[in-house]
Amino acid sequence: MDIFDTHAHYDDKAFDEDRYELLDAMAKNDVKYIINQGTDVETSKFSISLAEKYDYVYAAVGIHPEEIYKEESVTEIKKLIPHEKIVAIGEIGLDYHYDNTNKEDQLKYFIDQLNLANEVNLPVVVHSRDAQKDTLDTLKAIKINNSGVIHCFSGSLESAKEFLKLGYYLGFDGPITFKNAKNALEVLEYMPLDKILIETDAPYLTPTPFRGERNNSMYLTYVINKIAEIKKILPEEVANITMNNAKTLFKIN
Ligand SMILES: [Zn+2]
> What confidence tens digit (pLDDT) does each residue in 7-56 have?
999 999 999 999 999 999 998 999 999 999 999 999 999 999 999 999 99
Give the domain 3-249 fold.
TIM Barrel (3.20.20)
- The answer to whether the CB of 163 falls within 8 A of the CB of 170 is yes
Q: What confidence tens digit (pLDDT) does each residue in 126-165 have? A: 999 999 999 999 999 999 999 999 999 988 999 999 999 9
pLDDT computed for residue 180 by the predictor: 87
Expressed in angstroms and rounded, the spacing between residue 56 Cα and the centre of ligand 1 is 18
Compute the CA torsion angle 181, 155, 66, 117 (nearest 10 deg). Answer: 130
**Beta strand extents in 55-212 (DSSP E only):** 57-61, 86-95, 124-129, 148-150, 169-172, 196-198
How many A from CA of 37 to the centre of ligand 1? 6
Share of the chain above pLDDT 70, in %: 100
Give the HSE-up count for residue 131: Cα atoms under 13 Å, Cβ half-sphere. Answer: 26
Residue 182 has pLDDT above 90, yes or no: no
Rounded average pLDDT over 175-181: 93
pLDDT at 237: 98
3-state helix, strand, coil in the chain (%, to 5): 50, 20, 35
Q: Are 222 and 5 in contact (CB under 8 A)?
A: no
Beta bridge partners of 150: 126, 170
Q: How confident is the model at residue 213 (pLDDT cuts 50, 70, 90)?
A: very high
Burial of 182 (0-12, 13-18, 19+ CB in 10 A): exposed
Using the predicted structure, report yes or no on whether residue 193 has a pLDDT greater than 90. Answer: yes
Average pLDDT over residues 175-179: 95
What sign results for the dihedral spanned by CA atoms 187, 191, 193, 195?
Answer: negative
Q: What is the pLDDT of residues 95-111, one digit of tens each?
A: 999 877 789 999 999 99
Domain locations along the chain: 3-249
Interval between CA 233 and ligand 1 midpoint (Å): 28
**What is the pTM (predicted TM-score) of this model?**
0.97
CB 50: neighbour CB atoms within 10 A?
21
What's the 158 CA to ligand 1 centre distance in angstroms?
23
For 243, phi then psi, to 5°, come to -60, -50
Q: How far is the CA of 7 from the centre of ligand 1 (A)?
A: 6
